[in-house]
Structure 1
Amino acid sequence: MPHRPRVLIIAEAANPEWVSVPLVGWSLAQAMRRRAHVHVVTQTRNRDAFVRAGLVEGQDFTAIDSEAVAAPMYRLANLLRMGSGKGWTMVTAIASLSYPYFERLVWKKFGARIQAGEFDVVHRITPLSPTIASSLAPKVAAAKVHFVLGPLNGGVPWPKGFDSERRREREWLSYVRGAYKANPAHRKMLRSSALIIAGSRHTAGEIPAAHQHKTVWLPENAIDPARFNLTAPQDLSGPLRACFLGRLVPYKGPDMLLEAAAPLMREGKLVLDMIGDGPMADDLRAQAERLQISHAVTFHGHLPHDQVQPVLARANLMTFPSIREFGGGVVLEAMALGVVPMVVDYAGPGELVTGETGYLIPVGPRPRIVAAFRAALEALAADPSGLPVKAQAARRTALADFTWDAKAARILAFYAAIPDLQAA
């Protein structure tokens, strides 16, 4: 593998102006561009954002117009998901039907160049879902070029006791999600991949045993130090300041946080900033009124990305009781600012936080999570002296191990190890 390999990155979703998966696709592709000879292939909806970011079409990236299939399927997904921000398994299922057309156009555009040996690696970064098969993988492998898949992430099981939240999220298809493993195209993709990057321990565990030797773990999310460049002062002179950052939806547990923190808030020992919007917003405000804590909680609603950092950096704690978080990017953002995370020890956040950098609350039924959060917050309100040390460790870890550049460096090391993986 050359020191600066020639990489064709497939990132159907990649956009610097959006969040979630498109921001992951963009950020990782950009970090790879700084370390390798990269050409990015994305969907046409991202073209203008790429150009505004300074990339040159044809030279740095190619936009594939798959709207003939993608647009009507997107409208169908929005219809079937039964509510904005809900039914993500349905959205992914519909995407798995429309995505093959995108890859068909990618091969039509780049197939001859791949077969001619212009690229050392073809790396599909997005979609992240392990359920969406790639028809490119066997074609690239047949051309004697390494096909790399990932980071793959998703499908974390719902914890026991949260079926009502599952139904409120319209996650009907999640009960039969495992059916994707029977798809012959999915099995062929795994066989044809030279390297599989799993974005979570759960996803790594879902890869069949026959392919474990070429599967590596690398958390999906990372941070851009330029976007998170403040440092939380960790002021311990007043009441504890906690912050919640995320969509106001059942599985992220904002209602559990209000219930857990209510006694301290009524006593004036804790104040809370809630950043985000969603279908629970009105219910949460009503809950705050019932609990008599409205004076101690500020609902900021949705904030532009550049306005999130100043609010988050005021906090001592990032309190995040999500019970089904695949990546946990907001946890890394808090750590980068020196805000100590308190998270449920399950899925993504549980893989990012350690006892040195934050507080891990055991997963369990709702009453147990509420009680454990309350106990941890009460202990800190009584003695917050350990927070500055954890804050420093969290910031140090985020900036050393969880930047996009650090992730790109690890991926290049994975590329270099492909011959050893194939020989295993």
Structure 2
Amino acid sequence: MKLLVVSTNAALTMGGEAMKALQYVQQLLAQGRDVTLITHDRCRAALAGQLPEGRVIYVRDSAMMRACWRTPGLARLVNSFFHLEVARICRDFDPDGVVIHYLCPISPVEQRFPPKGYRYVIGPLSGNIFYPPGFRHLAGRGLRLQQRIYRPLQKLLGLFSRQFARAERVLVSGYDRTREALDWAGCPPGRIEEVWDAGLSEALFDRPRIRPAESPPRFVWIGRMVPYKGAELAIRALSHAPEQSQLTLYGDGPQRAELEALVRELNLGARVTFAGWLPHDALADTLGRFRGLMFPTLREANGIIMQEAMAIGLPVVTLRWGGPLGLAEEGEALFVDAGSQGQVVRDLAGAMQRLAYEPDLAERISQAARAKAEAAFPWGRVADSWYAAARAAHDRTAGGSQEGRARHVDVPSGVDSDQHRA
């Protein structure tokens, strides 16, 4: 079986979705699987040296994609035209020997236009995530509109699109909220399979668990500085935490100047450090110097940084909302309710105080988080669960796929989609 993994982005430098696409392909190649990644040409430079020759097909912007980029309000349609280009590429492969895996984006709304006669799986999907009620004022006009029309839009798409009905499997990592969205879109319940959203490198588990109680009461936040990531909440919480507590923020983004102004306003300059982007290969060593990870994200579909912190044994302080709620149980992280801003800030500060003054608590959470991560998150196990869905799809119908038969083409590394057509 040849697996074609489709992801709009794939790189270590483009966020969690892009990272997991690259790591999944690398994991399968390490297992000796026949897999090729199909991704956008914008990933070419970031993927240099990351995958062997012949294992990447790059999709250049079509005329319609370029027009969407140039036209205000139409950028959201670029992915649709990307998937139309992908369908043309996939038709160059023999449908009897191929399974297509539509990996990213994670949204149940995304229209993928799989070529007829080809077997495919979709996911893991973890969409249908919005701000908690007490924080909806942070949502822009577009997101508020999206939330209002999400259900009727899914129902409408379900009438015209059979992408889920035709899929061999729909992998879900977004729990009940994503299952609900798929139900609105007409996805047969029997096609849905629960999996983890992403895996972690075995190198994280080869390291000894850190001892957070031996670190000073310093806390860390990591991410892109945008409102839903919760950096402002972490800073405000620090102002109510014990004076010896400190906070280091890794990352950058459009909210950074606002966050720096907030630090000055709260007179926290001596306790807050803006450290810029943290290279991924330095993540484990760096996190091991802190008492806890502040992860008060307000609209997170999963939370790879939370998985990574759990793997090394760093206690995580997060909200009972969205993706983090499915990654850990009570005792494997410190959860606070996602109510009003004032309540969240007070409870985050209380969690920082507990970790600062209760070293035994930090150690218990560290041990439980590490055990959960070891049992659930190694890439080998996660990749096997995804690949098994594709393998089962191939084996169930092997030899029976006739519609859309095409010749198989071996594509050299870096060949563009406009050169790779029957």
TM-score (norm 1): 0.82
1:292 pairs, out of 267, 273, 276, with 267
1:194 to 168, 171, 182: 168
Identify if the C-alpha distance between structure 1 residues 194 and 172 changes in structure 2 by more than 3 Å, giving closer, same or farther. Answer: same
Distance 1:319 1:401 in 2: 22
1:67 and 1:228 mapped to 2: Cα distance? 43
Deviations 1:365-413 (A, max 9, x none): 2222122212222233332212123213322332442122211111233
Using the TM superposition, give the Cα deviation of residue 238 of structure 1 relative to its aligned residue in structure 2, in angstroms.
6.4
- Higher relative contact order by CA 8 Å / sep ≥ 6: 1 or 2? 2
Q: Which residue of 1 aligns with 2:341?
A: 366
| Partner SS state of residue 385, structure 1 | helix
Matched with 2:65 is 70
What's 2:97 paired with?
A: 118
Q: Does the CA contact (< 8 Å) of 1:214 and 1:421 recur in 2?
A: no
The alpha-carbon deviation at position 180 of structure 1 amounts to: 4.2
Question: 1:188 and 1:48, CA in 2 relative to 1: closer, same or farther beyond 3 A?
Answer: same
AA partner of residue 73 (structure 1): C
Match of 1:128 in 2: 106
Aligned to 1:262: 239
**Could you tell me which residue of structure 1 aligns to residue 408 of structure 2?**
none
Equivalent-residue separation in structure 2 for 1:43 and 1:380 (angstroms): 44
Contact 2:38 2:86 in 1 (8 A): no
CA contact (8 A) 2:103 2:122 kept: yes
Match runs of 1:341-356 below 5 Å: 341-356=316-331
Q: Does 1:102 align with 2:85?
A: yes
1:63 Cα shift? Answer: 2.5
Structure 2: gaps spanning 5 or more residues: 398-422
2:37 equivalent to 1:40: yes
Q: Does 2:52 match 1:55? A: yes
Percent identity over paired residues: 23
2:190 alignment partner AA: H
Q: Give the Cα–Cα distance (whole angstroms) in 2 for the partners of residues 170 and 195 of structure 1.
A: 29
Aligned to 2:228: 251
* Pair 1:210–1:199, CA change in 2 (3 A): closer
Q: Give the CA deviation at 1:301.
A: 2.3
Structure 1 counterpart of 2:26: 30
Partner of 2:412: none
Offset, 1:300: 0.9
**What residue in structure 2 maps to residue 163 of structure 1?**
136
Partner of 2:304: 329
| CA gap 1:290/1:45 in 2 versus in 1, 3 angstroms | closer
State the Cα deviation string for residues 128-183 of structure 1 (Å, max 9, x = none): 2221112216x1xxx3x532111122230321122221128966544433424412
Partners of 2:224 and 2:45 in 1: CA distance: 27
Whether the 8 Å CA contact 1:335–1:341 is kept in 2: the answer is yes
Q: For residue 235 of structure 1, report the CA deviation from its aligned partner.
A: 4.8
Look up the match of 1:338: 313
Quick one: distance in 1 between partners of 2:215 and 2:42? 47
Verify the 8 A CA contact 2:170 2:193 in the aligned structure 1.
yes
Residues 276 and 300, structure 1, Cα contact 8 Å, conserved in 2: yes
Aligned-partner SS, 1:273 = strand
Decide whether aligned partners of structure 1 residues 237 and 149 sit closer, same or farther in structure 2, where only a CA change above 3 A counts: closer
1:58-111 Cα offsets, whole Å, 9 max, x none, are xx23333344333443454xx54xxxxxxxxx85x333443343234224433x
Paired letter, 1:32: L
Q: Matched residues in 2 for 1:238 and 1:100: separation?
A: 48
- What corresponds to 1:393 in structure 2? 368
Evaluate the alpha carbon distance shift between residue 372 and residue 193 of structure 1 in structure 2; reply closer, same or farther with a 3 A threshold: same
1:228-282 Cα distance to aligned partner (Å, 9 max, x none): 87556435356412111112221122111222221324x22x1111111122222
Amino acid at match of 2:170: I
RMSD of aligned Cα (Å):
2.9
Distance in structure 2 (CA, Å) of the matches to 1:218 and 1:74? 34
| CA-CA distance at 1:185 after TM superposition | 7.7
